[in-house]
Chains A and B, each alone.
Chain A
Amino acid sequence: GIQVEQSPPDLILQEGANSTLRCNFSDSVNNLQWFHQNPWGQLINLFYIPSGTKQNGRLSATTVATERYSLLYISSSQTTDSGVYFCAVNQGGSEKLVFGKGTKLTVNP
């Protein structure tokens, strides 16, 4: 099946710093989503981005489908950005999501 790899696995930043999280996938996909898992376990949908670039406030994402990777940019990071960021993809007509192992982000004040 499709493989999803995220890097780096862990990232520690000072408040105000910028960061880039990467997601590589091994095959073509229909859907790619970025999620932020909060401390209570809920996965918050950040972007639905099978291709192209989107921005939402301090966050933006770019997916280059032909090269099978996606990037999540976080600018001017805040302590509330801490948590685990997951990339997930699906293929074909199924909604089955295949997740990467996540990037654990810690933003220190």
Chain B
Amino acid sequence: KAGVTQTPRYLIKTRGQQVTLSCSPISGHRSVSWYQQTPGQGLQFLFEYFSETQRNKGNFPGRFSGRQFSNSRSEMNVSTLELGDSALYLCASSLSGTAGNTIYFGEGSWLTVV
């Protein structure tokens, strides 16, 4: 079956713009999480969604937001982009959203802010 699909894979934005990233989880998976990876901070948790509800949020400013749709697909949005938002954004999905499930990652979206 298809894995976790993220779009777009690569994008370049200008400071001050906003960006929306999309994630389609593995079929049947209801939990979606987002992570930011940068060389300086490593992999950091952004948020977790289950059944359209945000269950957990990382320590990021309010410019970072997300949502999950009834088909479990998720989007994250970053408004008023800053140079420091340049990163690899990874989406992960799992079956039921409880600790103890294997978590699968997509290939990521590479965001460059200029």
Complex interface: stretch among A16-24, A40-48, A61-69, A70-78: A40-48
Q: Min CB distance, A17 to chain B, in Å?
A: 27
* 1/0 contact string of B58-80 vs chain A (CB within 8 Å): 10000000000000000000000
Contact of A95 among B90, B103, B106 (CB under 8 A): B103
Residues in A with CB closer than 8 Å to B98 are: 93, 95
Q: How large is the interface on B (under 10, 10 to 19, 20 to 34, 35 or more residues)?
A: 20 to 34
B105 closest partner in A (C-beta): A43
Q: Which of A33, A41, A99 has the most CB of B within 10 A?
A: A41
Contact of B99 among A41, A86, A90 (CB under 8 A): A90
Does chain B have a CB within 8 A of A59?
Answer: no
Instruction: Name A2-43 residues within 8 Å CB distance of B.
Output: 30-31, 33, 35, 40-43
A-B contact count (CB 8 A): 68
Interface size on A, residues (CB 8 A): 26
Assess the A45–B104 pair: CB atoms within 8 A.
yes
Assess the B42–A99 pair: CB atoms within 8 A.
yes
Does chain B have a CB within 8 A of A92?
Answer: yes
Assess the A45–B48 pair: CB atoms within 8 A.
no
Q: Min CB distance, A10 to chain B, in Å?
A: 14
Assess the B103–A96 pair: CB atoms within 8 A.
no
Does chain B have a CB within 8 A of A80?
Answer: no
Residues in B with CB closer than 8 Å to A95 are: 31, 33, 48, 55-56, 92, 94, 97-99, 101, 103
Assess the B108–A41 pair: CB atoms within 8 A.
yes
Instruction: Name B15-65 residues within 8 Å CB distance of A.
Output: 31, 33, 35, 37, 42-43, 45, 48, 55-56, 58
A33 closest partner in B (C-beta): B103
Residues in B with CB closer than 8 Å to A48 are: 102
Instruction: Name A74-109 residues within 8 Å CB distance of B.
Output: 86, 88, 90-99, 101-102
Residues in B with CB closer than 8 Å to A94 are: 48, 55-56, 99
**Known: A94-B56, A95-B33, A95-B94. Contact between A30 and B99, CB under 8 A?**
yes
